[in-house]
Amino acid sequence: MKAQCTAGFSVPEAKRIRLIINTDAKNEADDQYAIVHSLLTPKFLIEGFVASHFGSDKSPTSMRDSHDEIKKLLAIMGLDVPVLKGATAAVNRRGDDSEGSDFIIRQAFRDDPKRLFCVFMGPLTDMALAIRKRPDIVGRNVTVVWIGGGPYPDGGWEYNLLNDIEAANEVFASGIDLWQVPRNVYSLVLVSLAELETRVADKGRIGRYLVDQLLAVNEQYGNNPSWPSGESWCLGDSAAVGLLMDSHDFHYETVPAPIIDGDMKYAGRNEHAIRAYRYVDSRFILEDFYAKLALYQRSGGE
Delineate the domains of the chain, giving CATH numbers in brackets: 27-298 (3.90.245.10)
Query: What is the per-residue pLDDT for 10?
Result: 86
Q: Would the pLDDT of 183 be above 90?
A: yes
Average pLDDT score over residue span 232-258: 98
pLDDT band at 29 (very low <50, low <70, confident <90, very high): very high
For residue 92, what pLDDT is reported? 80
The tens digit of pLDDT for each residue in 108-158 reads 999 999 999 999 999 999 999 999 999 999 999 999 999 999 999 999 999
pLDDT confidence of residue 39: 97
Residue among 55, 76, 21, 78 nearest 237 (CA): 21
Say how far residue 98 (Cα) sits from the centre of its chain. 18
Report yes or no: 152 and 182 within 8 Å, Cβ to Cβ.
Answer: yes
> Sorting pLDDT into bands at 50, 70 and 90, what band is 75?
very high
Mean pLDDT, range 13-33, rounded to an integer = 97
Q: Is the pLDDT of residue 3 over 60?
A: no
Q: How confident is the model at residue 168 (pLDDT cuts 50, 70, 90)?
A: very high
Between β-strands 232-234 and 190-192, what pairing exists: parallel, antiparallel or unpaired?
antiparallel
Average pLDDT taken over every residue of the chain: 95
Q: Which pLDDT score is estimated for 301?
A: 78
Q: What is the DSSP letter of 126?
A: H
Q: What is the mean pLDDT of residues 201-227?
A: 95
Provide, for the chain, the percentages of residues in helix, strand and coil under a 3-state DSSP scheme, each rounded to the nearest 5: 40, 20, 40
CB contact set of 61 (below 8 Å; sequence gap of 6+) = none
**How much is the pLDDT for 1?**
38
Distance CA 240, CA 225 (A): 29
CA 227 centroid distance within chain: 21
* Residue 99 to residue 160: CA distance in whole angstroms: 20
Cα separation of 49 and 58, whole Å?
22
pLDDT for position 255: 98
Separation of alpha carbons 124 and 22, rounded Å: 9
pLDDT surpassing 60 at residue 2: no
Q: Is the pLDDT of residue 181 over 80?
A: yes
Q: At 97, is the pLDDT very low, low, confident or very high (cuts 50, 70, 90)?
A: confident
pLDDT single digits (tens) 31-59: 999 999 999 999 999 999 999 999 999 99
Label residue 6 by pLDDT band (50, 70, 90). low
Confidence at residue 176, expressed as pLDDT on a 0 to 100 scale: 98
